[in-house]
């Protein structure tokens, strides 16, 4: 019996997943609206066939399309025989949207979030080792069997990833703090940079602002879908920024030093991990 | 006739400068209060002699001590025969402080700001190639001769640096935006990170927060001395952050997307440099 993987959306994530699992499946089919992307994926051997709907016999389906189309695909595939995985960065809102559309959660869907590669896009930058050593978070709900969750985990592990399960709300709060807020701050920061400043970027600018080059459509979608957790993280940040502003305005250098020492301690905890 | 360089403060900057210019001077003497640092500098050949005051015959003096001691040294050396250079990150406040102490600016002082190496410290991490390809900004005032400015520039170029002259106030505004504000934001951000978050730092956290590991004494001093320019840059940032917050609160995803696209354009201008 042949095994088949279908990838919906051959962007960087979808194409890298196809490459990483090339030998795990007898057949890899793709749904990709962009003719150039599809042609590249087939010509470079990332996939075997372009299809216009998900084959009923597919054993696994990876949804790596833009985030605003994921819920529609999950609804359409709700009674498909295969394992359905998405790759969205926000889990709580997606689960809520699917439940609102269907009145239930499908038994074949394991929500997944691979922590990898959001700064570039397209199949030309696909990399079969993209997931190696990266985390993939699964946030399965009670509707799905532990067997299916194990199958999803095994596929990501075969792609080299370290798999972890989290509650979707906790996931969204943690990634609001460690990923979404840093992107928001880098974007807001870049808006205040003067053209004349770009000659003087040796003092911290480059590291700090690198993530500010990320994709506007993807990130405005993430901000929209994770708004509650992101706004909470932002409020906490604004509180700490206010502490700094007041200390600087008051010439309270000791107070500033203590705040910086606390921040540095937090950073050192990370390095010790 | 022998030539002599004196370095006041054998931290990373001072020791790296000594190493880089080892062959340019017959004699390198150091003033360093820390016995361990001084012993390391002598034993490793970074310098020839430890002195307790700047030798009257020194041709050049590099002040690489903590920033709050720089003005005192410039005052003390105001009538010294040699070229005096400091290495502070903020120029306007220092020039003002020296003028307030002396009632004038010394004719032997060229204010310098090497854009290098603020995250580590001590002579053990000194590197003779630290300044190679880095910028060094000079902000000389009219009191100093162009000959002396040329001598300062030649020394930094001999250490491998690209030398540029700027007005001190413009320097402080530019570096408030490209260096001091990013550090402030990274510090404030780190204060809101939860210990549980440190397992989930693959989504932008590391690049963004790297500069948050910088030295509290040095950076609280920089924030104090560059307070006006830093607070102005901070106000601009808070305005842009407010634009984002309001767009996210209102569910205005198109507005968010436009803000992100503008930020990304700014970042792309940098990459094109």
User: How would you write chain B as a 3-class SS string?
Assistant: CCCEEEEECCCHHHHHHHHHCCCCCCEEEEECCCHHHHHHHHHCCCCCEECCCCCCCCCEEEECCCHHHHHHHHHHCCCCCCEEEECCCCCHHHHHHHHHHHCCCCCCEECEEECCCCCCCCHHHCCCCCCCCCEEEECCCCCCCHHHHHHHHHHHHHCCCEEEECCHHHHHHHHHHHHHHHHHHHHHHHCCCCHHHHHCCCCCHHHHHHHHHCCHHHHHHHHHHCHHHHHHHHHHHHHHHHHHHHHHHCCCHHHHHHHHHHHHHHHHHHHHC
Above 90 in pLDDT, residue B272?
A: no
Whether the CB-CB separation of A211 and B260 falls below 8 Å is answered with no
Helix (H, G, I), strand (E, B) or coil at A48: coil
pLDDT (tens digit, 9 = 90+) per residue, B252-261?
A: 999 999 999 9
Q: Where are the domains of chain B?
A: 4-166, 171-272
Mean pLDDT of A118-135: 83
Partners of A254 on chain B (C-beta within 8 Å) are: 220
Half-sphere exposure of B62 (CA within 13 A, CB side): 30
DSSP A152-184: HHHHHHHTTPEEEE--HHHHHHHHIIIIIHHHH
Write down the pLDDT at residue A246: 98
Q: Which residues contact B217 (CB under 8 A, 6 or more apart)?
A: A257, B66
Above 70 in pLDDT, residue A1?
A: no
Task: Decide if A248 and B182 are in contact by the 8 Å CB cutoff.
Answer: no
CATH 3.40.50.720 fits A4-166, yes or no: yes
For residues A125, A128, A132 and A136, what is the CA-based torsion angle, rounded to 10 degrees? 80
Above 80 in pLDDT, residue A153?
A: yes
Q: What does the mean pLDDT of chain A come to? A: 94
Mean pLDDT of B124-128: 87
Mean pLDDT of B83-109: 97
Which of B180, B204, B249 minimises the CB distance to A179?
B204
Mean pLDDT of A120-138: 88
Task: Decide if B244 and A184 are in contact by the 8 Å CB cutoff.
Answer: yes
Write down the pLDDT at residue B269: 86
Above 80 in pLDDT, residue B162?
A: yes
pLDDT (tens digit, 9 = 90+) per residue, A207-239?
A: 788 888 889 999 999 999 999 999 999 999 999
Write down the pLDDT at residue B118: 57
Task: Decide if A208 and B203 are in contact by the 8 Å CB cutoff.
Answer: no
Write down the pLDDT at residue B116: 85
Task: Decide if B240 and A118 are in contact by the 8 Å CB cutoff.
Answer: no
Above 70 in pLDDT, residue B273?
A: no
Closest residue by Cα to residue B177 from B240, B111, B131:
B240
Give the predicted TM-score (pTM) of the model: 0.91
Question: Distance (Å, rounded) from C-alpha B86 to C-alpha A213?
Answer: 36
Write down the pLDDT at residue B2: 80
CATH 1.10.3660.10 fits B171-272, yes or no: yes
State the pLDDT confidence band at A117, using cuts at 50, 70 and 90: low
Domains B4-166 and B171-272 share a fold: no
Report the relative pairing of strands A4-8 and A27-31 from DSSP bridges: parallel
**B230 near A CB under 8 A:** yes
Query: For the ranges A105-114, B31-40, B122-131, which has the lowest average pLDDT?
Result: B122-131
Partners of A256 on chain B (C-beta within 8 Å) are: 219-220, 223-224
Mean pLDDT of B192-198: 88
Closest residue by Cα to residue B111 from B137, B135, B131:
B137
**Given its phi and psi angles, is residue B204 left (phi above 0), alpha (psi -120 to 50 degrees) or beta?**
left
State the pLDDT confidence band at B117, using cuts at 50, 70 and 90: low
Whether the CB-CB separation of B220 and B184 falls below 8 Å is answered with no
Q: What does the mean pLDDT of chain B come to? A: 94
State the pLDDT confidence band at A37, using cuts at 50, 70 and 90: very high
Assembly ipTM = 0.90
State the pLDDT confidence band at A122, using cuts at 50, 70 and 90: confident
């Amino acid at each position: 019996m042949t095994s088949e993987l279908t990838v919906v959306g051959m962007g960087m994530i979808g194409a890298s997943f196809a490459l990483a699992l090339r030998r795990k499946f007898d057949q890899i089919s793709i749904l990709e609206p962009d003719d150039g992307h599809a042609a590249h994926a087939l010509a470079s051997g990332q996939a075997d066939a372009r299809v216009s709907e998900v084959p009923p016999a597919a054993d696994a389906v990876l949804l790596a399309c833009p985030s605003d189309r994921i819920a529609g695909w999950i609804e359409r595939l709700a009674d498909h025989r295969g394992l359905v995985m998405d790759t969205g960065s926000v889990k709580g809102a997606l689960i809520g949207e699917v439940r609102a559309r269907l009145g239930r959660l499908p038994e074949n869907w394991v929500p997944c979030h691979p922590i990898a590669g959001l700064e570039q896009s397209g199949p030309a930058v696909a990399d079969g080792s993209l997931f190696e050593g990266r985390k993939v978070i699964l946030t399965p709900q009670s509707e799905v069997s532990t067997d299916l969750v194990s199958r999803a985990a095994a596929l990501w592990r075969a792609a080299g990833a370290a798999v972890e399960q989290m509650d979707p709300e906790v996931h969204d709060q943690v990634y609001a703090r460690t990923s979404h807020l840093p992107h928001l701050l880098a974007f807001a920061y870049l808006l205040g940079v003067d053209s004349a400043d770009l000659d003087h970027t040796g003092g911290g600018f480059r590291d700090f602002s690198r993530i500010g080059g990320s994709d506007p459509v993807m990130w405005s979608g993430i901000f929209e879908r994770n708004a509650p957790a992101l706004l909470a993280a932002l409020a906490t940040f604004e509180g700490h920024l206010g502490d700094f502003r007041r200390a600087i305005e008051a010439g309270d250098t000791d107070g500033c030093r203590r705040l910086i020492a606390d921040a540095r301690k937090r950073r050192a905890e990370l390095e010790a991990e």
